[in-house]
Amino acid sequence: MTACPCGSGLGLEECCGPIVAGAPAPTPEALMRSRYTAYVLRDLDHVERTHAPEIRGDFNRAEAARATGEIEWLGLDVRQASASGDSGTVEFAIRFRRAGQELTQHEVSSFRRVDGSWLYAGGKVSGKPPPREVVKIGRNEPCPCGSGNKYKKCCGA
């Protein structure tokens, strides 16, 4: 059994294989996972046919083929997926190595269901995940460690 590149833990033939071969994806997440798998397998036909009509002309197959030849795919991390009616979103990060450098691409992608099939409708790419939110503690506030002392006399010293 060949493991599916999407990281689901399933075999390729029971996970993304049928979708890459042309079966409709049941969810936006399944389509996104199959698109990642298609890039890993260099099956650009699947990537191209799963673009929504309004963005299909934006796909540069020659550039995609060149890029996939230079990339070693390291993993996919689905952070959040949702669908409501005929639209859905998937937030994910992919890790890859290019020119000896390990990189991460964070994206929030949009999907639309057209005639029963989910299609990729676009996405917003960021080179890194959203920044962590840090709460600033004032010097004269109680220390968050629970000691009962002021922050400046405790952990802030």
Given this model, what pLDDT does residue 113 score? Answer: 94
Percent of the chain residues topping a pLDDT of 70: 96
Residue 68 lies in a domain: yes
Instruction: Output the pLDDT for position 135.
Output: 75
Indicate the number of domains in the chain.
1
CATH number of the domain that 79 lies in?
3.10.450.50
| Residue 6 lies inside a defined structural domain of this protein | no
Spatial distance between the Cα atoms of 94 and 110, rounded to a whole number of angstroms: 16
Q: What Å distances lie between residue 92 and 24, 28, 45, 70, 148, CA to CA?
A: 21, 12, 22, 21, 41
The confidence score (pLDDT) of residue 132 equals 65
Interval 18-61: pLDDT, tens: 999 999 999 999 999 999 999 999 999 999 999 999 998 888 99
135 assigned to some structural domain: no
Given a cut of 50, the residues of the chain with pLDDT beneath it are none
Domain span holding position 74: 12-130
Domain presence at residue 108: yes
